[in-house]
Amino acid sequence: MAEVVVTDLVKKFGTETLAVDNISFTVAEGEFVTLLGPSGCGKTTTLRCIAGLEIPDDGEISIGGELFTSGSKGVCLPPEKRHLGMVFQSYAIWPHMSVAENVAYGLQAQGASRNEARGKVDKALELVGLSGLGGRNATKLSGGQQQRVSLARAVAYNPRVLLFDEPLSNLDAKLRERMRLELVNLVKELKMTALYVTHDQAEAMVMSDRIIIMKDGRIQQVGDPHSTYNEPTNSFVADFIGVTNIIEGSAEEKNSGGLLVDVPKLSAKILCGAGLDREIGKGAKVLVTVRPEYIELHAPDSDGANRLEGVVDKAVYLGQSWDCLIRVGDTDLRVHVRGDEPIEPGKRVTMYILPERCVVLKD
């Protein structure tokens, strides 16, 4: 199995669009990595450069130590010599072929004999839970089954790396949720290396060993789901992954508990325990983020930092928790409160923001 190494990759379309703006990342052997970001941020273009379907303007791509693309060395291996498996949103299934013929297509194109192909097709169909459906016309299957056919086709010839471009986007919400787990379990079972593209942050969180968050062709942050959620480095990542509050303030002193930030809009001082891996001078303007579930509706009795008074503006019951907007001065804070005790709009509340969950952002 292979390791993907992308170094200083650049891809432009015409003179106007810098789709991929000098990005570098790796995917380790057996790792499941996701490129996550909003529409147009360059995820698909990056994947297509790796597959050999786009020719980059600059940078290098190698897989398993073999150089696939290098602008400076004039190397660009054609797609069929890369031995990568691709699964697309559109399934890309041949409508005139049976399920088995669809899966066998790539194998035969690569020179496998009929017998050899048959064995591999049966194995691949079994892996994706479609045993016995090989003779069926591929277009007579449900969306979920068609996507399994394209997955079977991708894994059948044991590719070096599996590349996925929003493969679950056409499925309904329930099936999509189930397929996420099935897909990642299958990839892990086969011990394959996978690079997955999605704009769905929940999908990325559930499936990935690591997430690469992109915006405007550039990488914003790379990390495992836990660290990207709990320690976003900038306001884009904080806002894109999950729901959050972003608050402006100015730095005061640092102490053993973190950095004390003055937040005039909330008439409060907030002690921030995370995002402090850099020098922040006294008086510097900073942005602080805190997730709604890290603001509690009970505060210690003291008047210390991180204690806020507010009034419930809206409260929506979600089953396991309440999703509230709580007005503090002119600012609304989003707060999630566990339990089903009713929270009435207009109620005065005292809140406490957990210091260790307050993250100082880089920009």
Residue 107, CA distances (Å) to 67, 224, 244, 345, 346 in order: 24, 35, 47, 63, 66
Tell me which residues in 73-92 interact with ligand ATP (CB under 6 A).
none
Q: Compute the least distance from the CB of residue 25 to ligand ATP, in Å.
A: 15
* Residue keyed to tokens 């020719």: 55
Tokens representing 25 are 């990342």
Give the relative orientation of helices 99-109 and 114-127 as an angle to the nearest 10 degrees. 130
Q: Where are the alpha helices (DSSP H) in the chain?
A: 43-51, 99-109, 114-127, 143-156, 173-189, 201-207, 225-230, 235-240
Contact between 45 and ligand ATP per CB under 6 A: yes
Judged by CB under 6 A, the residue of 42, 134, 249, 258 near ligand ATP is 42
Shortest distance, CB of residue 328 to ligand ATP, whole angstroms? 36
Instruction: Please state, in angstroms and rounded to a whole number, the distance separating the CA atoms of residues 55 and 13.
Output: 11
CA 167 to each of CA 16, 90, 178, 332: distance values in angstroms, whole numbers, following the listed order: 29, 7, 13, 37
Q: Does residue 199 belong to the site contacting ligand ATP (CB under 6 A)? A: yes
Task: Identify which range of 43-51, 60-68, 109-117, 260-268 contacts ligand ATP by CB under 6 A.
Answer: 43-51
Count of residues near ligand ATP by CB under 6 A: 12
- Which residue from 353, 357, 247 is spatially nearest to 304, judged by alpha carbons? 353
Binding region for ligand ATP (CB under 6 A) out of 32-40, 96-104, 226-234, 346-354: 32-40
Tell the residue number behind the tokens 């691949």, with chain if given.
124
55 lies in the site for ligand ATP, by CB under 6 A: no
Please say whether the beta carbons of 205 and 232 come within 8 A: no
Q: Quick check: 39 binds ligand ATP (CB under 6 A)? A: yes
Least distance between ligand ATP and beta carbon 215 (Å): 9
Rule CB under 6 A: choose which of 2, 9, 19, 87 binds ligand ATP. 19
Count of residues for the chain?
A: 363
Q: Output phi, psi for 277, to 5 deg.
A: -85, 35
> Residues 144-183 vs ligand ATP: string with x where CB under 6 A?
----------------------------------------
Nearer residue to ligand ATP within complex by CB, 19 or 333: 19
User: Least distance (Å) from ligand ATP to the CB of residue 354?
Assistant: 34
CA 363/CA 353 separation, integer angstroms: 21
Smallest separation (angstroms) from ligand ATP to the CB of 247:
29
Could you give the CA distance from residue 241 to residue 207 in angstroms, rounded to a whole number?
Answer: 14
215 binds ligand ATP (CB under 6 A): no
Please provide residue 159's backbone torsions phi and psi, each rounded to the nearest 5 degrees: -70, 160
Coil vs helix vs strand at 27: strand
Which segment (40-48, 97-105, 117-125, 231-239) binds ligand ATP by CB under 6 A?
40-48
Distance CA 140, CA 121 (A): 19
- Given the complex with ligand ATP, which of 194 and 351 has the nearer CB atom? 194
Q: DSSP characters for 39-77?
A: TTSSHHHHHHHHHTSS--SEEEEEETTEEEEETTTTEE-
Query: Shortest distance, CB of residue 172 to ligand ATP, whole angstroms?
Result: 19
40 is a contact residue toward ligand ATP (CB under 6 A)? yes
From 12-20, 64-72, 167-175, 253-261, span contacting ligand ATP (CB under 6 A): 12-20
Closest CB 324 distance from ligand ATP, rounded Å: 32
Q: Does 44 bind ligand ATP (CB under 6 A)?
A: yes
Measured from the CB atom, is 46 or 289 closer to ligand ATP?
A: 46
Out of 13, 80, 142, 185, the only residue in the binding site for ligand ATP (CB under 6 A) is: 13
Q: Which residues bind ligand ATP (CB under 6 A)?
A: 13, 17, 19, 37, 39-45, 199
